[in-house]
Structure 1
Amino acid sequence: MRRTLVIILLALITLPLSITGASVALPGIRADLDAGLAATQWVVNSYNACFAAFLVFAGSLTDVLGRRRVFAWGVALFCASGVAGAAATDILLLDLVRAVGGVGAAAATTGGTSILAATFHGQARARAFGLLGAALGAGLALGPTAGGLLVEWLGWRAVFAVPAAISALALALVPALPAMRGARGRGVDRAGAALFTSALLMLIFALDEGPAMGFGSPIIVGSFAAALVLAAAFVVVERRVAFPMIETGLVADRRFLAFSVAAGALMGILVPLVVYLPSYLISVVGLQPAQAGLWLLMLTVPSVVLPPAGAALARRRPVATVAGCVAVSGSGALLLATIGPDSTLMTLLAPFALVGIGVGLSNGVLDGLAIASLPPERAGAASGLFNTARLTSETVALAAVGAMLAALSGGSMEGVAFTSALRAVCLALAALAAVATVCVLAMARGTHHHGYAEQ
């Protein structure tokens, strides 16, 4: 059992690192491959979009094809994507292989977590998933630092090659995992998967390409409209198929919905900052990639060290704790609206720390609160929907922030224009946090949970 846990953790820790670690490499990629801004943003967005879009579909495949098989294929795709990305000499090819890596990450995540769920029970399962959460948090938090050091020492290609090497090691150990067959008679929601994936990718395309093409252009307007129609069709299909990807009825629970909104808002604040701040610190403030990664530790380390404190607070006042976390992160984003080319380590300490504290106190806590808000027999469906909502919110926020930065900086993301654009983005993120805080309090307060109501 311990060997199973080590193999799963080894494979999955590279997945969030591939999001935040690649962010430090973007300036180097853009210069080396002579790429435009929108094409460079797809290096992160294509991976994140496919990760989110295929997460629940990959979960359905684990029920049909078997947990170990889906996990192995996911790790293999992620590994191949990293190797191809490290060798890429064209930005379009790099964007495409990153999309493949996102699909692999989705399969590896769902396959790996389902293996843990089937292998461990009781307190052992809680410990296993606690370690998994810590590993994923560490991958997200240390990604910019590790990526900065790799770029400084070995060049941007190492950001893709090193995770590929780690995943190759995990893939070699897959035969040591327990064989787990798929369930007979279980179907795959192909129509739902196609609609959900298409809707999300159309939305990301419109946001990413909008600044270059113009948000009023027929292609961009049509893409937004298509995303809306596909999303509506997805909801209709999910209510009618025998084995839906997502149980849409779960969103009727106000408490579950409140915690999902909080998770989406927190990741929608943290991840865009982690992705785009390195570019600002490198191109405007003048830091080296390794320095930029080290500075971002102020933003990301709290997400690793504070979850136990957040759990203790949430046991007493869960709704107030969650709403407070969102508000604290929002206040950090608001302070970041004063960022400038003369920013120093000390001037950024408070805003970075506030964003990180809000996320850190809620890390892992939100998952448990959301799933516990529903009956135990719906825990699996609740977990799938919650993670999909969080990752989808993160993906859309990342694309939206990229679109704002590109549009407000005139497509350059350099100099004074980049500073003004980043300040506007920080104000928008603070407004998002304020709205989310009000929504959490309005939806969750007074709702019942296992026989009690929080006032």
Structure 2
Amino acid sequence: MTRNVLVLTAVLLSSLTVPLTITGAAVALPGVQSDLAADLAAAQWVVNGYNACFAGFLAFGGSLADLVGRRRMFAGGVALFCAGSLMCVLAGDIVLVNLARACAGVGAAAATATGASILAATFDGPARTRAFGALGIVLGVGLAFGPALSGLLVGVLDWRAVFAVPAVLSGAVLLLCPFLPRLPGTGEKRVDWAGGALFTAALVLVIVVLVEAPVLGFTSPVVAGGLLTAVGLGAGFVAVQRRAADPMVDLALLANRTFLAFSLAAGALMALLVPLLVYLPSYLIAVVGLSPGRAGAWLLMLTVPSIVLPVAGAAVARRSPALLVCGSVALSGAGAVLLVTVGPDSTPWGLAAPLLLIGAGAGLTTGVVDGLAVSSVRAEQAGTAAGLFNTARLTMETVVLAVVGTVLAVISGGRLAGPGFTTALHTVGVALGLLAVAAFVGSALLLREHRRGG
């Protein structure tokens, strides 16, 4: 086996753990809450803690790799993810599980931030194209079949199995890390410590406030003070970025209307998809009465479009990028509104329309909108644009996920079960539909203004 094959295998296996651990945690959530006797707010951190740490550290991890070296950062991230996943398997307390998930999120961010650059440094020409094509396929497969595999694992074993599989995969990646190219840090850029700390603190604080607000009360001084502090941290982050010699985020890119439109649409699509990946399995298990395995199988309608539709999306993008992104947001938004038809007696046929529409919107743009966003900036800005694009998408996804969790908790009375859960899910569907309308209008206006300006 050649060294290049080993490098590709390491990066692909590491990337596969990302969708598997996200979808796995969603299917495992009811079992975690029941087995560890956790209340809803504590159980939500199994998902929110991971996502917040992943989003908060992703851009910062890319700049930090320039200091310590990409192989070291990648290996360190994989090791931290492996350790966090193993802690989830062994932990007997919800606090330890949530701490482990936070560690896994930081580790996944570090590995993800450096994996693509390792592939770019290892392969060139057509080989690079094939390597990144394989990366897209692996991510799509993990997202598509993660819920079904996780449901099977929970049904046959228990919820701990969904964290054991990513731990085993990341352990295998660690064995391959010595074969990666050294790729030492260049030392050309300074690490934006202040920017990274302010951004991560602001994002995590927002998530903490949103998750804990139903318990503390929305009029609580703690909630109001937390939000004001988060706003202050965000303002400080913007100020630091404007003055930093090597900022974590190049705010000048936000003046590019086309880039902003693609980033907004991509963030909205993930904000429509991911909350359903997280909370719909709980609904199907607790209210519809499905086994975890069957719930995962039903979710294939939501996830398989991410494998089969990107080619069609790329064809549409060549003719009209605006039609692709705005049309995809409209499709997913229509599917979200149709969630009002979901109920305790739902069947696969009854769920087909909302799930397939939401999945189609995300699937048509999987990988395609990333390329459109990066192609909309100058070549020398491509790397920075990719980092900002992913950070914006993950941040929007993470915040909306926390909001959805809060809405579900408040309307269902803190119990994701019974008629209250159905009412809460219908409310979330309408709210996500309104989010899609806002994203559709915003993206369309930005793209129209760009064409006028051009």
Q: Given the two structures, how large is their TM-score scaled by the length of structure 2?
A: 0.98
Equivalent of residue 87 in structure 2, options 69, 81, 84: 84
| CA–CA distance in structure 2, aligned partners of residues 127 and 378 of structure 1 | 23
> Equivalent residue for 1:294?
297
Corresponding residue for 2:348? 345
Separation of aligned partners in 2, 1:391 and 1:304: 20
Partner of 1:367: 370
Instruction: Indicate conservation of the 8 Å contact 1:337/1:422, yes or no.
Output: yes
**Aligned-pair distance for 1:249?**
0.8
Name the structure 1 match of 2:322: 319
Q: How far is 1:448 from its partner? A: 5.2
Residue equivalent to 1:27: 30
Aligned to 2:158: 155
**Residue of structure 2 in register with 1:355 after alignment:** 358
Aligned AA (1:139): G
What amino acid does structure 2 have at the position aligned with 1:245? M
After superposition, the C-alpha distances for 1:297-323 in whole angstroms (9 at most, x for unaligned) are 001000111101100011001111110
- Could you say which residue in structure 2 is the equivalent of 1:167? 170
Contact 1:49–1:201 (8 Å) recurs in 2: yes
Aligned to 1:187: 190
Q: Which amino acid aligns with 2:10?
A: I
Pairing partner for 1:236 from 231, 236, 239: 239
Asked if structure 2 preserves the Cα contact closer than 8 Å seen for 1:264 and 1:393, the reply is yes
Specify the alignment match of 1:112 in structure 2: 115
> What is the Cα deviation at residue 324 of structure 1?
0.1
Amino acid aligned to 1:34: A
**Paired residues of 2:7 and 2:176 also in contact (CA < 8 A):** no
- Any idea what SS the aligned residue of 1:419 has? helix
The equivalent residue for 1:38 is: 41
* 2:70 match: 67
Task: Show CA shifts across 1:373-400 (max 9, x none).
Answer: 0111100000000000111111111111
Cα distance in structure 1, aligned partners of 2:226 and 2:416: 25
Q: What's the offset of the Cα at 1:122? A: 3.2
Is 1:402 the equivalent of 2:415? no
The CA distance in 2 between the partners of 1:124 and 1:377, in whole Å, is 22
Aligned match of 1:177 in 156, 159, 180? Answer: 180
The SS at the match of 2:341 is: coil
Cα distance between partner residues in 2 of 1:311 and 1:141: 19
- Equivalents in 2 of 1:65, 1:28: separation in Å? 39
Q: Secondary structure at 1:173's aligned position in 2? A: helix
Name the structure 2 match of 1:100.
Answer: 103
Conserved? CA contact 2:331–2:360, under 8 Å: yes
Aligned to 2:261: 258
On the 8 A contact 1:21/1:145 being kept in 2, the answer is no
Q: Which runs of 5+ in 1 are unaligned?
A: none
Write the letter of the residue equivalent to 1:384.
G
Single out whichever of 110-119 and 74-83 deviates more from structure 2. Answer: 110-119
Q: In 2, Cα distance between the equivalents of 1:140 and 1:394?
A: 15
Query: 1:435 aligns to what?
Result: 438
Q: What is the CA-CA distance between 1:402 and the residue it aligns to?
A: 0.2
DSSP 3-state at the match of 2:159? coil
Deviation at 1:185, TM superposition (A): 4.2
Partner residue of 2:15 out of 12, 15, 18: 12
Partner of 1:215: 218
How many correspondences in the alignment?
451
Amino acid at match of 1:191: A
- Counterpart of 1:215, as a letter, is F
The answer for the alignment partner of 2:270 in structure 1 is 267
The 2-side partners of 1:390 and 1:135 are apart by 20
Aligned to 2:208: 205
Q: Distance in 1 between matches of 2:341 and 2:217?
A: 28
Corresponding residue of 1:137: 140
AA at the equivalent of 2:377? L
Q: Is the 8 A contact 2:316 2:323 kept in 1?
A: no
CA contact (8 A) 1:406 1:413 kept: yes
Q: 1:371 & 1:195 partners in 2: Cα distance?
A: 25
SS of the aligned residue for 1:13 comes to helix
Per the TM alignment, residue 62 of structure 1 is displaced from its structure 2 partner at its CA by 1.2
Moved more, 203-212 or 118-127: 118-127
Cα displacement (A) at 1:217: 0.7
Q: Give the structure-1-normalised TM-score.
A: 0.97
Corresponding residue for 2:283?
280
Shift of 1:221: 1.1
Task: Provide structure 2 residue ranges, at least 5 long, that are not aligned to the other structure.
Answer: none
Equivalent residue letter for 1:362: T
Amino acid corresponding to residue 134 of structure 1 in structure 2: I
Tell me, in whole angstroms, the C-alpha distance in 2 between the residues paired with 1:16 and 1:245: 25
Instruction: Output one character per residue of 1:147-180: Cα deviation in whole Å (capped at 9) or x when no partner.
Output: 1111011100011111100100011111011111
C-alpha contact (below 8 Å) 1:267/1:394 kept by paired residues: yes
Aligned-CA RMSD value: 1.2
1:393 partnered with 2:386: no
Alpha-carbon offset, residue 184 of structure 1 = 2.4
Give the partner amino acid of 1:444: L
SS in 2 for 1:396: helix
* Conserved? CA contact 2:85–2:163, under 8 Å: yes
- Of the structure 1 ranges 383-392 and 177-186, higher mean CA displacement relative to structure 2 is found in 177-186
User: In the TM superposition, what is the alpha-carbon distance from 1:117 to its structure 2 partner?
Assistant: 1.7
AA at the equivalent of 1:32: D
Task: Choose which of 45, 49, 56 in structure 2 pairs with 1:53.
Answer: 56
Give the Å deviation of 1:116. Answer: 1.0
Q: Whole-Å Cα distance in 1 between the matches of residues 192 and 37 of structure 2?
A: 41
* 1:368 shift after superposition: 0.5
Cα offset, 1:7, TM superposition: 1.2
Distance 1:381 1:185, change over 3 A: closer
- The alpha-carbon deviation at position 446 of structure 1 amounts to 5.0
Q: Quick one: which of 325, 334, 337 aligns to 1:334?
A: 337
Letter of the 2:310 counterpart: P
SS at match of 2:416: coil
Q: 1:128 to 1:448 in 2, by over 3 A?
A: farther
Deviation at residue 123 of structure 1 after TM alignment:
3.1
